[in-house]
Amino acid sequence: MTAAGKQHEHKNRNIQFLRGLAIILVLFAHGSVMLAGAQAQAWDALLQRILPGIGVDLFFIISGFLMGATFLRKQQGFDAHAVYRFYCKRIRRVLAPTWFWAAALLLLALVEQETGIGPYGLELLLSVAASAAFFLANVFNALEQSDFGYFWSIALEVQFYLFFPLLLLLRNGFWPAVVAIVVWFSFANPFEPAWLFRVNGLFIGLLLWKLSTLAVFEEIQAQIGALGAGRKAWVALLAVLAAAVVGSTFEAFESFRWTAVTLILAVAFVLVAFSDELVFGVFSRPVEAIGTVSFSLYLCHIPVWLLTTAYAGALPTATRVPLCLALSLLAAWLSYRFIEQPLTRPARAEASAGQVACVEAGRR
- Looking at residue 50, its pLDDT comes to 84
- Looking at residue 364, its pLDDT comes to 36
Distance CA 265, CA 141 (A): 25
pLDDT over 70 (residue 124): yes
What mean pLDDT comes out for the span 135-144?
Answer: 93
pLDDT over 80 (residue 79): no
Cα dihedral angle (342, 344, 350, 355), rounded to 10 degrees? -120
Please state the separation of Cα 190 from the chain's center in Å.
Answer: 22
- Report helix, strand or coil for 327: helix
- Looking at residue 356, its pLDDT comes to 47
- The model's confidence at residue 353, banded by pLDDT at 50, 70 and 90, is very low
Mean pLDDT of the chain: 87
- Report helix, strand or coil for 88: helix
Residue 336 counted as domain residue: yes
Condensed to tens digits (0 to 9), the pLDDT of residues 201-242 reads 999 999 999 999 999 999 999 999 899 999 999 999 999 999
pLDDT over 80 (residue 74): no
Residue 263 counted as domain residue: yes
- Looking at residue 362, its pLDDT comes to 41
- Looking at residue 344, its pLDDT comes to 65
Residues with Cβ within 8 Å of residue 225, at least 6 apart in sequence: 275, 276
Interhelix angle 3-29/284-292, rounded to 10 degrees, is 70
- Looking at residue 146, its pLDDT comes to 83
Considering the chain, what percentage of its residues have pLDDT values greater than 70?
A: 89
Distance CA 346, CA 11 (A): 22
Burial of 297 (0-12, 13-18, 19+ CB in 10 A): buried
Domain count along the chain: 1
Distance CA 152, CA 147 (A): 11
Upstream peptide bond of 193 is cis (omega within 30 degrees of 0):
yes
- Looking at residue 290, its pLDDT comes to 98
Helix, strand, coil percent values for the chain (each to nearest 5): 80, 0, 15
Lowest mean pLDDT among 73-87, 143-157, 203-217: 73-87
Residue 76 counted as domain residue: yes
Residues counted in the chain = 364
What mean pLDDT comes out for the span 156-184?
Answer: 91
Q: Which of 332, 348, 282 is nearest to 27 (CA)?
A: 332
Distance CA 273, CA 362 (A): 13
- Provide the terminal-to-terminal Cα distance of the chain, rounded to the nearest Å: 23
Residue 133 counted as domain residue: yes
- Looking at residue 331, its pLDDT comes to 97
What mean pLDDT comes out for the span 128-152?
Answer: 91
pLDDT over 90 (residue 49): no
DSSP structure string for 159-192: HHHHHHHHHGGGGGGHHHHHHHHHHHHHH---SS
Rg (CA), the chain: 20
Q: pTM, whole model, 2 decimals?
A: 0.91
- The model's confidence at residue 87, banded by pLDDT at 50, 70 and 90, is confident
Would you tell me how many other CB atoms lie within 10 Å of the CB of residue 210? 18
pLDDT over 80 (residue 359): no
Residue 304 counted as domain residue: yes
Residue 364 counted as domain residue: no
Please state the separation of Cα 37 from the chain's center in Å.
Answer: 29
Residue 142 counted as domain residue: yes
What mean pLDDT comes out for the span 40-56?
Answer: 89
Residue 291 counted as domain residue: yes
- Looking at residue 195, its pLDDT comes to 92
Look up the domain containing 354 and give its range. Answer: 3-359
What mean pLDDT comes out for the span 84-101?
Answer: 81
